[in-house]
Amino acid sequence: MIPLVFAVGIIGGIWMGKYMFVSQRSIHEEKLRTILEMIDNEYVDEVDMDSVFEQLYPRLLELLDPHSAYIPASELQAVNEDLEGSFSGVGVSFQIMNDTVNIIEVVAGGPSEKVGLLPCDKILRADTVSLTGKGATNENVFKNLRGKKGSKVVLEILRSTSSKPLKFDIVRGDVPVHSVDAIYAMKDSTGYVRVSKFARTTADEFHNALLALRLQGVNRYIVDLRGNSGGYMDQAILMAREFLKEGDMIVYTKGKMPEYQSIAVADIDGPFKDTELVVLTDEYSASASEIFAGAIQDNDRGLIVGRRSFGKGLVQNQTVLPDSSAIRLTIARYFTPSGRSIQKEYKPGEMEDYELDITRRYKRGEFYSADSIKFDPAKTFTTRTGRTVYGGGGIMPDVFVAEDTVGITSYYIQVVNAGLIQKYAYKVASNYREVLKNAKTIGQLKKVLPRDNTLLDGFVEYAAANGVPARWFYIRKSQNLILTQLKAVIARDLLGYPAFIEMLNEGDAVVRKGFQLLIDGESPTVIYPADAVKAGAEKKSSVSKSNSPAGSAKASPGRK
């Protein structure tokens, strides 16, 4: 049992904080001490106080706000690895299908590539641990593939070209965690960059991506932050600086302590300050994503396209506790350059209500109509050129694009829920691996893959054999969606994850809209100086009125 004095110290410290008056704090500490002593001396059953406290700490922080959190010592390393830029392991991405661990990508330059592992290999064992059947779980795979740098693991692999399992001795090493998932040049001097999170290396990755595209003749950029739940705020600041002019504000924070009050301003002219820019957001773009989008929007530097962002305007600071657990405590609120707090409303302690916000948006029709989005008129702000934007509920895009539901039928839902698109695509990729071993691009892949009718017929036959009978009325309605996703997963398995994104984007309505806006010259290419604000506002009026719900009274995470 944890000594009562130690327990009181921890609970009292988290619950009351060092800012409470001594008299108030002592009253609550005394009450807590009395309760603990009564449990220890009088409660009828034996109590595992370690377990009690581990359940109590998260609840204490939940009573504050939706984003303060307790992280047990056993989970801290795994939680942090996703943002720290690298971890130590064997360097593969995998997918579990039919109780089998299938390698879908071998990280370039990683330990597995060096010993000859290939996509489509199946992992049977890690040392003596079975990774098939009941052993094929994410937790089991992570536990046995990740490990201390320099440690060894023997993987038993099943490969389609070998009648017997193969064994590979792999020395675990540093595996980079990339946050820029895909970059590629589109037509008409336009480049696409997808940023999945804001990790330690994101700003450097992003800068290098922009430079690589510039060398390919790109002078217009689409930055895709959809699904990006955030991460390190400083990385968002550095990313925004790429497109701003020296002296432009990016974000500021307000907290109780002086060190948590800050203003971030571009300290140089960004190397891409004169390029055209579109930023894509959706309801899962949060925190650092919203800092970046807010800076671009409030400075009238580019257009935000898509759907309203999540609405997380709270800043957390992580503190590691003596037992190697940690707390992430909200220590400030951040504000966009116009003065907006984009944090959506919440009631302390009512986490379930907060988490249902996205569901409520969907039911209100926000995913399909900008007119369904309501903002508080009292939280009205203006951008640099005088356009109206709103605080208190995420970043509303300048150009709203409804969620695309074309092609979604009951048949499509059935095959998706059964995982049949991924499974059939994996089968096709395996069949074409030898033919495509020298393929490097989407274009080369398309030339070799079966024609659309052949690919669709093969999938329908495969789905029927796996419990989803053919219903051609619905299949015809869904065929473009099914074919796009099949090709995207095949591209991922054969060429890597960036190819998956590039192929999906060919049928993506938000990407298409962003691209068209750039081609039509709708995105501003300069930051208007203070003495030209009025003229700039007139220049932007057509966008504000015709494309932007932000111009009307009806509308304007993480990873953590």
Catalytic residue among 197, 273, 312, 344: 312
- Residue 307 — left, alpha, or beta (φ > 0 → left; ψ -120 to 50 → alpha)? beta
160 in catalytic set: no
Residue 317, CA distances (Å) to 21, 98, 421 in order: 23, 41, 41
Q: How far apart are CA 314 and CA 331, in angstroms?
A: 8
Tokens of 65: 């706000």
Tokens (6 digits) for 208? 């290098």
Please write down the long-range contacts of 102-111, taking CB distance under 8 Å and 24 or more positions apart.
Answer: 102/426, 104/426, 104/492, 104/493, 105/492, 105/496, 105/497, 107/175, 107/176, 110/173, 110/175, 111/170, 111/171, 111/172, 111/173, 111/175
Per-residue tokens: 453: 């009718």
Give the number of other CB atoms < 10 A from CB of residue 43.
Answer: 9
Q: 471 exposed, middle or buried (CB, 10 Å; 0-12, 13-18, 19+)? A: middle
The candidate with the shortest Cα–Cα distance to 14, out of 77, 79, 78, 59, is 59
Q: Which amino acid is at 323?
A: D
CA distance 559 to 83: 8
324 flagged as catalytic: no
Which entry of 65, 282, 298, 508 is annotated as an active-site residue?
Answer: 298
The catalytic residue among 112, 179, 287, 556 is 287
Strands 92-97 and 86-89 come out as unpaired
- Is 287 one of the annotated active-site residues of the chain? yes
Pairing relation of β-strands 303-306 and 276-281?
parallel
The set of catalytic residues is: 287, 298, 312
